């Protein structure tokens, strides 16, 4: 029988029977629409006039001087809503509307995807319900307020570990129950086919712009492109247009308190093949196949799975996956704020942390692009509360 949506051996559609018809419907609709001129035009118009694309590729003179290479930031923090998440929610919401769906549901970790879904719900006049782990509703209270302000209903999830993984479980349960009129707007390159492919397509605008911008400015491709990886959507978005080029690609996972402590979310660094949320990919699990609890200072990376295309890119060696630990991430958060006046999201600060730690391997003329996937305003209150931070 068919094997849909594979990235090497990874991917697939491991879902309850009830959802199969919905996935087939989605696959068909997307296959038609992605080539539909009007859809492509509508999406481009929203990206430009509503989301604020193209986002700048910002050269960082001070950080470059400190680190001894040319540092550029792809400014997804400047996308409306404060992160790259809107690239995907705009595409999927337009698709949902085209499919005649009446209601959007979503999961969220840090709240950025929830906010981006609330935004498109308000803009397109569709009701939105967002599942969010109870732990995350507390550490990202600002985003809960923003979602509610834009008319979305936030549903705190109290099962399991009460974080992103459990929010996805609850969203899947909602979808199974309301499958006929509800569209599940997944926020990352995870889940069953066609989500990983579709979300990557919608996020690839990041890499396409980066390519054009760096060519214009430097006349050549970058040496290294760095992005943080939770589920992996901002990383897939910036990597994908460079996959066939001679450009080093680095994905930085959440090392948390250190991989050796077990308190981390570094799925590709420390996990093994497994099936969660409809896809075969890398997974943090115990010897019996039970999914392990994760830890990260950033709610957006706090997920035991990862997109299946990343799993393939890891096995092939095309992308170098590594991890940054919480203390280094906090240093990077401060560094970029102090040196460049740009407060990064804690998620994106993982990518900055890797460059800081590995600055010694770059020459003065090397071009390093960091995907600054989101802005850090949402994290300020949480960080101010950490011991030894407030002054």
Partner 1 sequence: MRRIDAAFAGRKRPAFIGFTVAGDPDRDTSIRAAMALIEAGTDILELGVPFSDPVADGPTIQKADERALAAGATVDMVFEIVREIRKRSEVPIVFLAYYNMVYHRGIDRFYREAREAGVDGILIADMPVEESDEVYKAALRHYIDPIFLITQTTSSERIQKIAARSRGYLYLVAVLGVTGVRDTVSAEALDLVKRVRKFTEVPLALGFGISKPAQATTCAGAGADGVIVGSAIVDIIEKNFKDPDKMDQDLRTFVASMKKAL
Chain contacts with partner 1 (rule: CB under 8 A): 1-4, 12-22, 159-160, 165-166, 169, 172-173, 176-180, 273-278, 280, 283, 285, 288-291
Catalytic residues, by residue number, are 60, 84
Residue 134 burial by Cβ neighbours in a 10 Å radius (0-12, 13-18, 19+): middle
Phi and psi of 370, rounded to 5°?
-105, 130
How many other C-beta atoms can be found within 10 angstroms of the C-beta atom of residue 372?
A: 32
Provide the token pair at 383: 């960080």
- Apex 194 CA angle, 188 and 196, nearest 5: 30
Confirm if 297 and 257 have CB atoms less than 8 A apart: no
Three-class secondary structure assignment of 314-373: HHHCCEEEEEEEHHHHHHHHHHHHHHHCCCECHHHHHHHHHHHHCHHHCCCCCEEEEEEC
User: Cβ 287 to partner 1, closest distance in Å?
Assistant: 8
Quickly list DSSP for 260-311: GGT-S--HHHH-EEEEETTEEEEE-B-TTSPBPP---SSGGG--SB--HHHH
Which CB sits closer to partner 1, 18 or 32?
18
Bridge-based pairing of strands 248-256 and 319-325 is parallel
CB of 280 to partner 1, least distance (A): 8
Q: What CA–CA distances, in Å, run from 274 to 28, 97, 280?
A: 27, 33, 6
Cβ nearer to partner 1, comparing 77 with 107: 107
Beta pairing class for 272-276 and 279-283: antiparallel
Query: Hey, what are 9's tokens?
Result: 């051996």
Cβ 234 vs Cβ 370: under 8 Å? no
Considering only CA atoms, which of 113, 34, 58 is closest in space to residue 345?
Answer: 113
Q: Which is nearer to partner 1, 22 or 238 (CB)?
A: 22
Question: Which residue's CB is nearer to partner 1, number 101 or number 378?
Answer: 101
Buried b (16+ CB within 10 A) or exposed e, 351-361: bbbbbbbbeee
In the complex with partner 1, the residue whose CB is nearer, 183 or 354, is 183
Nearest CB to partner 1, comparing residues 81 and 304: 304
Q: How far is the CB of 336 from partner 1 (least distance, A)?
A: 35
Q: How far apart are CA 121 and CA 103, in angstroms?
A: 9
What is the smallest separation between the CB atom of 194 and partner 1, expressed in angstroms?
Answer: 13
For 227, phi and psi rounded to 5 degrees? -145, 150
Count of H-run helices and E-run strands, the chain:
16, 14
* 70 closest CA partner among 210, 224, 211: 224
Minimum distance between the CB of residue 97 and partner 1, rounded to whole angstroms?
A: 21
Q: How far is the CB of 177 from partner 1 (least distance, A)?
A: 4
Q: Which of 289, 296, 287 is nearest to 327 (CA)?
A: 296
């Amino acid at each position: 029988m068919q094997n849909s949506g594979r990235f090497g051996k990874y991917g697939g559609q491991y879902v309850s029977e009830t959802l199969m018809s919905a996935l087939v419907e989605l696959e068909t609709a997307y296959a038609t629409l992605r080539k539909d001129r009007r859809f492509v035009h509508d999406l481009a118009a929203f990206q430009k006039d509503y989301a604020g694309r193209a986002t700048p590729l910002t050269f960082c003179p001070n950080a470059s001087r400190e680190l001894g290479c040319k540092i550029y930031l792809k400014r997804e923090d400047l996308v409306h809503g404060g992160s790259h998440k809107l690239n995907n929610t705009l595409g999927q919401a337009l698709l949902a509307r085209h499919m005649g769906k009446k209601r959007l549901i979503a999961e969220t970790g840090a709240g950025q995807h929830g906010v981006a879904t609330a935004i498109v719900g308000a803009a397109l006049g569709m009701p939105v319900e967002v599942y969010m782990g109870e732990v995350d509703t507390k550490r990202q209270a600002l985003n809960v307020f923003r979602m509610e302000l834009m008319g979305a209903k936030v549903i705190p999830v109290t099962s399991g570990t009460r974080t992103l993984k459990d929010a996805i479980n609850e969203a899947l349960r909602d979808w199974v129950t309301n499958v006929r009129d509800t569209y599940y707007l997944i926020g990352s390159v995870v889940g069953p086919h066609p989500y990983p492919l579709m979300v990557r397509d919608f996020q690839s605008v990041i890499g396409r712009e980066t390519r054009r911008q760096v060519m214009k400015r430097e006349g050549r491709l970058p040496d290294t492109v760095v992005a943080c990886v939770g589920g992996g959507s901002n990383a897939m978005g910036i990597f994908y247009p460079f996959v066939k080029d001679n450009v080093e690609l680095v994905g930085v996972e959440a090392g948390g308190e250190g991989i050796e402590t077990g308190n981390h979310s570094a799925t590709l660094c420390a996990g093994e093949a497994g099936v969660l949320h409809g896809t075969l990919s890398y997974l943090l699990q115990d010897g019996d196949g039970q999914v392990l609890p994760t830890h990260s200072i950033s709610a957006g990376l706090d997920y035991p799975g990862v997109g299946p295309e990343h799993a393939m890119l890891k096995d092939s060696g095309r992308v170098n996956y590594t991890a940054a630990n919480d203390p280094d991430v906090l240093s990077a958060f401060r560094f970029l704020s102090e040196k460049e006046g740009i407060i990064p999201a804690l998620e994106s600060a993982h990518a900055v942390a890797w460059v800081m730690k590995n600055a010694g391997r770059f020459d003065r003329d090397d071009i390093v692009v960091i995907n600054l996937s989101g802005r850090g305003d949402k994290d300020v209150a949480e960080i101010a509360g950490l011991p030894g931070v407030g002054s």
